[in-house]
């Protein structure tokens, strides 16, 4: 008997509630240490308590939410040392992901990454020019586009690594990543433009290592890039 095409996994309300609550924690809409209830979250999401209960069960398992009483919960808050350790773990994972991407690279991947950086190059040139002219605060939209391009750049590398377990571990570690806002990045460009350019160019070096299939170098570059950013508290990670 011929095989039938596989059906995509259904996305339940519980899945959607999980994704929405998790994203709210990542972005800071739900603050670290904030007390919440199932009913309150359900009302904010516009759903019944049942899918929220399912979502919270998973978030509690991941240590993102902690139960403080029979009906009360709290968004997990960890001390700075623990957050530093989580950030270093994330950087190690990103290094391994880059290693696997270099091992499994395809021409399509390399081409798409080069195209992404070519697009970002134009915007970064605009930002550095604005920095010299003193008009950097008018370029928040360009900076947001650069950050979005670089986020896609790293996402493509993760997908190319082809390791769903590592993707899941990275996704969990990001919940605890420190919040990085665009205005802080603008301040960093304005005060230390050479540092911003140096960190931006690290993406090109990483891409070159992946394109050449240099696993060791790709691992080292990705780890160094991310762990350096993680150690500078309050700064985003492009």
Q: What is the DSSP string of 84-136?
A: HHHHHHHHHHHHHHHHHHHHS--HHHHHHHHHHHHHHHHHHHHHHHHHHHT-G
The b/e string for 222-238 (b: 16+ C-beta within 10 A; e otherwise) is: bbebbbebbeeeebbbb
Whether the model pTM is above 0.85: no
> Dihedral of the CA atoms 166, 234, 149, 134 (nearest 10)?
-170
Identify the pLDDT of residue 2. 56
**Above pLDDT 70, what percent of the chain?**
87
pLDDT (tens digit, 9 = 90+) per residue, 41-52?
A: 999 999 999 999
Identify the pLDDT of residue 238. 43
| CA–CA distance, 161 with 156 (Å, rounded to integer) | 9
Exposed, middle or buried, 197 (CB in 10 Å: 0-12/13-18/19+)?
middle
Q: Which residues contact 203 (CB under 8 A, 6 or more apart)?
A: 117, 120, 150, 153, 225, 238
| CA–CA distance, 63 with 134 (Å, rounded to integer) | 44
**Above pLDDT 90, what percent of the chain?**
53
Identify the pLDDT of residue 96. 96
Exposed, middle or buried, 72 (CB in 10 Å: 0-12/13-18/19+)?
exposed
Beta sheet of 65-67, edge-to-edge order: 35-36, 73-75, 65-67
The larger pLDDT score, comparing residue 180 to residue 222, is at: 222
| CA–CA distance, 180 with 31 (Å, rounded to integer) | 14
What is the CB-side half-sphere exposure of residue 114 using CA atoms within 13 A?
A: 10
| CA–CA distance, 218 with 96 (Å, rounded to integer) | 9
| CA–CA distance, 182 with 220 (Å, rounded to integer) | 27
| CA–CA distance, 117 with 141 (Å, rounded to integer) | 17
Which of 46, 50, 48, 45 is closest to 19 using CA atoms? 45
pLDDT (tens digit, 9 = 90+) per residue, 150-195?
A: 999 999 999 999 999 998 888 888 787 654 445 556 666 767 788 8
């Amino acid at each position: 008997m011929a095989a039938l095409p596989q059906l995509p996994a259904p996305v339940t309300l519980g899945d959607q509630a999980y994704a929405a609550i998790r994203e709210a924690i990542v972005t800071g809409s739900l603050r670290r240490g904030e007390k919440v209830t199932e009913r309150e979250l359900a009302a904010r999401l516009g759903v019944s308590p049942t899918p929220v209960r399912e979502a919270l069960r998973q978030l509690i398992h991941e240590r993102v939410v902690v139960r403080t009483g029979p009906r009360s919960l709290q968004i997990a808050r960890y001390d700075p040392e623990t957050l530093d350790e989580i950030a270093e773990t994330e950087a190690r994972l990103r290094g391994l992901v880059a290693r696997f991407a270099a091992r499994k690279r395809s021409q399509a991947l390399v081409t798409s990454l080069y195209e992404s950086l070519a697009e970002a190059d134009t915007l970064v040139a605009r930002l550095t020019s604005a920095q010299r002219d003193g008009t950097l605060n008018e370029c928040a939209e360009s900076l947001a586009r650069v950050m979005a391009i670089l986020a896609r750049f790293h996402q493509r590398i993760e997908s190319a690594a082809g390791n769903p377990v590592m993707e899941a571990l990275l996704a969990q570690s990001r919940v605890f990543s420190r919040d990085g806002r665009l205005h802080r990045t603008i301040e960093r460009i304005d005060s230390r433009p050479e540092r911003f350019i140096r960190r931006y160019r690290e993406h090109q070096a990483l891409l070159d290592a992946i394109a050449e299939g240099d696993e060791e170098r790709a691992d080292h570059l990705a780890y160094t890039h991310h762990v350096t950013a993680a150690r500078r508290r309050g700064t985003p990670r492009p």
